[in-house]
Amino acid sequence: LHDAFDAEYQLEAVTLDGEEISLYANTGLEVSNDLINAKYLDGIGLYRTEAWFMQQNAFPSLAEQEAWYREILAAYHPSPVTMRTLDIGGDKCLSYFNFSEENPFLGWRGIRISLDHPELFLEQVKAMLKANMGLGNLKIMLPMVADVNEVESSKRLIQQAFFELQDEWLPEQGKLEMPQVGIMLEVPSSVYLLPEWAKCVDFCSVGSNDLTQYMLAVDRTNARVANLFDSYHPAILRVLNDIAIQCIDYQLPFSLCGELAADPEGALLLVAMGYRDLSMSPSAINKVKYVLRRLNASDMEQLLMTCLAAKNAKQVHRLLREFIIHHK
Binding mask 50-89 for ligand PEP (x = CB under 6 A): -------------------------------------x--
Nearer to Mg ion by Cβ, of 207 and 264: the residue is 207
Number of residues that bind Mg ion (CB under 5 A): 3
Among 48, 126, 130, 289, binds ligand PEP (CB under 6 A): 48
- Residue 55: name the closest of 102, 104, 88, 99 by CA: 88
Task: Please say whether the beta carbons of 246 and 256 come within 8 A.
Answer: no
Nearer to ligand PEP by Cβ, of 15 and 190: the residue is 190
Q: Whole-number minimum distance, CB 207 to Mg ion, in Å? A: 4
Under the criterion CB under 6 A, does residue 186 sit at the interface with ligand PEP? yes
Quick one: which segment of 202-210, 266-274, 300-308, 315-323 binds ligand PEP (CB under 6 A)? Answer: 202-210
- Residue 119: name the closest of 178, 39, 190, 62 by CA: 62
Nearer to Mg ion by Cβ, of 179 and 207: the residue is 207
Which of the listed partners (ligand PEP, Mg ion, none) does 48 bind, with a CB threshold of 5 to 8 Å by partner kind?
ligand PEP
Q: Whole-number minimum distance, CB 216 to ligand PEP, in Å? A: 13
Quick one: which segment of 29-37, 163-171, 210-218, 227-235 binds Mg ion (CB under 5 A)? Answer: 210-218
Among 80, 89, 179, 258, binds ligand PEP (CB under 6 A): 258
Task: Please say whether the beta carbons of 113 and 154 come within 8 A.
Answer: no
Among 80, 89, 182, 207, binds ligand PEP (CB under 6 A): 207
Which of the listed partners (ligand PEP, Mg ion, none) does 257 bind, with a CB threshold of 5 to 8 Å by partner kind?
ligand PEP
Under the criterion CB under 6 A, does residue 257 sit at the interface with ligand PEP? yes
Q: Which of residues 153-192 bind Mg ion (CB under 5 A)?
A: 186
Under the criterion CB under 6 A, does residue 210 sit at the interface with ligand PEP? yes
Q: Whole-number minimum distance, CB 247 to ligand PEP, in Å? A: 17
Task: Please say whether the beta carbons of 282 and 25 come within 8 A.
Answer: yes
Which of the listed partners (Mg ion, ligand PEP, none) does 187 bind, with a CB threshold of 5 to 8 Å by partner kind?
none
Binding mask 8-47 for ligand PEP (x = CB under 6 A): --------------------------------------x-
Determine whether 49 is exposed, middle or buried from the number of CB atoms within 10 Å of its CB (0-12, 13-18, 19+): buried
**How far apart, in Å, are the Cα atoms of 262 and each of 10, 26, 70, 287?**
18, 10, 27, 8
Q: Can you tell me the distance from the alpha carbon of 185 to that of 16, in angstroms, rounded to the nearest whole number?
A: 30
Among 19, 150, 210, 259, binds Mg ion (CB under 5 A): 210
Which of the listed partners (Mg ion, ligand PEP, none) does 208 bind, with a CB threshold of 5 to 8 Å by partner kind?
ligand PEP
Binding positions for ligand PEP, rule: CB under 6 A? 46, 48, 87, 186, 207-210, 257-258
Binding positions for Mg ion, rule: CB under 5 A? 186, 207, 210
